[in-house]
A and B are shown apart, each in its own frame.
Chain A
Amino acid sequence: MTLVLEQALNGVQLGVLLFLLAAGLTLVFGIMNFVNLAHGSLYMIGAYFAATFIPWSGSFIVGAVLALAAAAAVGMALEILIFRRLYHRDHMDQVLATFGLILFFNELVLMVWGPAGMSIAVPSWLAGQVTIIPGVPYSAYRLAVLLAGLAAAAFLYVLVSRTRTGMRIRAGASDRQMAEALGVDIRLLFTGIAGLGAALAALAGLLAAPLRSVHAGMGEDILVLAFVIVVIGGIGSIRGAFVAALGVGLIDTVGRAFLPRALDAIFSDSIADAVAPALSTTLIYLTMVVVLAIRPRGLFPAPGV
């Protein structure tokens, strides 16, 4: 029983990490109607910035804040220089342009930081364990990731549904022209959203870095999962992204933890060995298929973020 609880905790921890990435993606997609494949690059850039700033400043927190600010600046610069020109083009053009950005950023980090990749050490005050389930020491760093992700989710919720800025974001999402006519500066708003999305992606990147290491191309693997979450949750819906991210995190973790054993009980050893890893990889996609078959527009269809 404690194992189930511990694995659930692991699943939620993975889920909130994925939520941070998916939230930026769904914001940009839902509000700006813009497909940003380069979102994974911002995740990578955030990790590289953190791996640079943390040793430089000597503090995990200071370095992380600097990295978030720098990544937000990169996101806003991208919006002003590139995204802005693509809003009126169709989605394939956007995919093509932002795919080009992925290649550009991967080459850029190889040139700036070298091919070897980097690592971020877990801060010493989080290197130990805490006991939240009796008898099961749990990594303090993983718990911190979980709490930071939940805090970011709460911040987003308050921002979008409780503030004037959030009202403008929602207005821009449901009817851009009408919002503009009422005096909302859509250009400024979109730049801000791109910056916010970039900061969220960077937060995911730097929190994941001590667990997954920092290297060129690290964004692509996880971006696929983020897209799955956006689609399951309903494109443009932050609430949907949150629910879907936790669901995907739990399904992935529980699948990896318990599926091999379950299959062992049913099939012979060699079949279970061959099937279990493959099946636990595809479990998430099977979930997506089932969700879309029942609710073609996702769990929480937008508009109305």
Chain B
Amino acid sequence: MNLRGIGILVVLGLATLAFWISAPSTQNDGVRIGFVTTLTTGTGVIGADMRDAFELALDQMGRTMGGLSVWISYEDDAVDPNIGRQATERLVQRDDVHFVSGFIWSNVLLASYQAATDNDVFLIGANAGPSQLAGEACNRNFFSTSWQNDQTTMAMGEVLNDQVSNVYVMAPNYAAGRNMIAGMERTFQGQIIGKTLTQFPDQLDFAAELANIRAAAPEAVWVFYPGNFGTQFFQQYSQAGLLGEIPLYSTFSIDALNLPQIGDLVEGTQMTQSWSPDMDNPANQKFVADFRAKYGRYPSFYAAQAYDAAMLIRSAVEAVDGDLDDLDGLRQALARADFDSVRGSFSFGKNHFPIQDFFLREVMRDSDGVFTTRIVDVVYSDHVDPYAKDCTMQQ
């Protein structure tokens, strides 16, 4: 046998070995959870934050739920619906998971959820809240620990009503970006004098759009640019000399992950959100304190929602006494949302999206000079998303 032949054999052998090692052991009877999020690309830092929060929750539980050990696998979606779908299929079919959680991006979630829900695997969305899943395509096996996309910008529209008579809106052109703008159009009563949808996820350079904003001279600008998109947007807004000229409002664009980089630029900036690190309830105080102690930074809202997802899953597993074959029991237990959310009050509407409060937050420095956010006002109490009325769920 020649050298090349031996080489090929070695590679094939190693590949088989790697597959054998990575394949799950079938003896494990515990709770099996898959977590699909973004761990690479420029937004990989968000996925890492969600993973850190989920790990914190598991550690607090002693990595058991209802007496069962927990097996977990974190998968990368690379902000790509195809890759997210493949990861979900792999978790459901190869790894035999009982729950899939995570999902930052609405387009990835929309492409992936049926791979879980059609196989009676519960999907606990921990960020994305596309309108379809809240309305006509609502699903008995889907639950969200975040919000429906429209809601947070509906709250922002209410805030802007008190402050300006026109606004220029800008968001990336994908499912969530379009939902967010729809939310703004629902509640903002002034004039939307400019609307720009940018390419997603490739576009990070906003030179042309910023020039248009200057020319339009709006009273305020509102944007939705999550993660490093937000970092780039705020920096370029400043470089273009618009900061301080035109007030800037945002949703889901400033978080604990990019505040260290852009805090100076956005101090005092206002945003709407259903959670804030300063929320005054025991579950949240414990979460924020433990997260900061373990990782040395503030948790982001992504982290808070992932933490709630872990707690929700545990509440259901405990409710059925670890009988994971009792799907109806698990489903009913999930729908009760019987856990201490970091948001305080938390319950599911009939479409399995949370009914919750929305707050106005602003960027400030804490007593150590670290940038964070605090709540300045309550915009909505017990808010139900606008698509819930279209949901007729088959139980």
Contact = CB atoms under 8 A, between A and B. Distances in A.
A151 interface: no
Contacts of B281: none
Interface of B: 39-42, 44-45, 48, 78, 173, 195-199, 202, 204-205, 207-209, 211-212, 214-215, 228, 231-232, 235-236, 238-241, 261
A211 B208 contact: no
B87 to A, nearest CB: 15
A140 B238 CA distance: 11
A129 B237 CA distance: 11
Contacts of A122: 235, 239
A188 B215 CA distance: 53
Interface residues of A, number: 44
Interface stretch (A5-13, A89-97, A194-202): A5-13
Given A117-B42, A122-B239, A212 B232 contact: yes
Contacts of A7: 208, 211
B236 A216 contact: no
**What is the interface of chain A mostly: helix, strand, loop, or mixed?**
helix
A137 B215 CA distance: 12
A269 B238 CA distance: 30
Contact of B197 (A6, A117, A213, A277): A277
A10 B212 CA distance: 11
A254 B211 CA distance: 11
A205 to B, nearest CB: 13
Contact of A253 (B44, B45, B207, B239): B207
Contact of B44 (A119, A138, A215): A215
Contacts of A221: 202
Interface string A139-159: 111100000000000000000
Interface string A231-258: 0000000000000000000000110110
A3 interface: yes
Contacts of B39: 115
A7 B240 CA distance: 13
A205 B42 CA distance: 15
A61 B206 CA distance: 25
A211 B212 contact: no
Nearest to B78: A217
Contacts of A110: 40
A113 B78 CA distance: 17
A213 B241 contact: no
Nearest to A272: B195
A212 B45 CA distance: 16
A273 B197 contact: yes
B221 to A, nearest CB: 16
A116 interface: yes
A129 B240 contact: yes
Contacts of B40: 110, 115, 215-217
Nearest to A222: B202
B42 A257 contact: no
B52 to A, nearest CB: 12
A173 interface: no
A226 interface: no
